């Protein structure tokens, strides 16, 4: 083990952090939006919407992220309709496919977290709010969301870490985020140990920072 290489590699790997965090942020936003939509679909009275949402969720939770990523990045080009569509300039970009896959995947997990949080709410509160003449919007804004946030934060913190780890798969479709850079350094200088352990240190620091921030948020919401 060449210890000085860590000092050399870690700054180089930091160059990949913006891509990793960008993918993470994008995927989380898409995941929450779509996840809330999926959760709404399951609660409506239209059965077909519920089936679609349930099918989507178990499909994305029951298959490897790598398969999803490859199916979207390498797979979609198989269809002429997609190659000729307006979306193709985006869908052939590696960063867009990584963002899309991570977001679609996270949506399935996030919708389960939201559903779990909603189950934790007391029914009586909503009825009371309705009796006080709260509109649906106000009900959501003042009664459901604040409690939902508080209940869901621990499990959502987990989801954030899972998506962060998922971003490493972007390296397999040529994106030079942290893992991609580490792989390049490892093979260029034939120093896999130093390169991958340096990358591990960078990821751990990000995990600690994110966990710390989420815990602060959790504490903030408790009061």
Q: CA torsion angle for 123, 124, 125, 126 (degrees, to 10)?
A: 60
CA-CA distance, 65 to 81, in Å (whole number)? 25
Q: Which of 43, 53, 60 is nearest to 119 (CA)?
A: 43
Rounded least distance, CB 170 to another protein, Å: 10
Rounded least distance, CB 71 to another protein, Å: 4
Rounded least distance, CB 82 to another protein, Å: 9
> Is 143 or 156 the residue whose CB approaches another protein more closely?
156
> Is 151 or 185 the residue whose CB approaches another protein more closely?
185
Contact range with another protein by CB under 8 A, out of 22-30, 45-53, 138-146, 193-201: 193-201
**Length of the chain counted residue by residue:** 223
Q: Is 125 in the site for another protein (CB under 8 A)?
A: no
Contact range with another protein by CB under 8 A, out of 41-49, 66-74, 138-146, 149-157: 66-74
Mark 140-179 with x for binding to another protein (rule: CB under 8 A) and - for no binding: ---------------------x--xxxxxx-xx------x
Q: Is 135 in the site for another protein (CB under 8 A)?
A: no
Q: Is 41 in the site for another protein (CB under 8 A)?
A: no
Q: Is 65 in the site for another protein (CB under 8 A)?
A: yes
Q: Which residues contact 96 (CB under 8 A, 6 or more apart)?
A: 90
Q: Is 52 in the site for another protein (CB under 8 A)?
A: no
CB 113 within 8 A of CB 155: yes
Which stretches of the chain bind another protein, using CB under 8 A?
Answer: 58-59, 61-68, 70-71, 74-79, 161, 164-169, 171-172, 179, 182-183, 186-187, 192-193, 196-197, 199-200, 203-204, 207-208
């Amino acid at each position: 083990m060449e210890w000085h290489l860590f000092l050399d590699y870690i700054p180089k790997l930091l160059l990949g952090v913006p891509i990793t965090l960008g993918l993470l942020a994008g995927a989380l936003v898409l995941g929450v939006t779509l996840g809330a939509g999926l959760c709404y679909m399951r609660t409506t009275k239209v059965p077909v919407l519920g089936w679609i949402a349930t099918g989507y969720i178990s499909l994305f939770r029951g298959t490897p992220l790598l398969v999803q990523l490859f199916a979207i990045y390498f797979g979609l080009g198989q269809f002429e309709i997609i190659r000729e569509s307006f979306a193709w300039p985006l869908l052939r970009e590696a960063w867009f496919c990584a963002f899309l896959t991570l977001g679609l995947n996270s949506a399935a997990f996030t919708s389960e977290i939201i559903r779990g949080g909603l189950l934790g709410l007391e029914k009586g509160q909503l009825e009371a709010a309705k009796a006080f003449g709260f509109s649906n919007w106000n009900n959501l804004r003042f009664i459901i969301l604040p409690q939902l946030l508080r209940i869901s934060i621990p499990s959502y913190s987990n989801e954030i870490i899972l998506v962060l780890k998922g971003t490493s798969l972007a390296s397999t479709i040529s994106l030079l985020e942290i893992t991609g850079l580490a792989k390049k350094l490892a093979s260029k200088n034939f120093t896999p140990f130093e390169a991958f352990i340096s990358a591990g240190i960078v990821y751990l620091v990000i995990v600690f920072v994110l966990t710390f921030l989420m815990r602060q948020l959790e504490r903030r919401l408790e009061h």
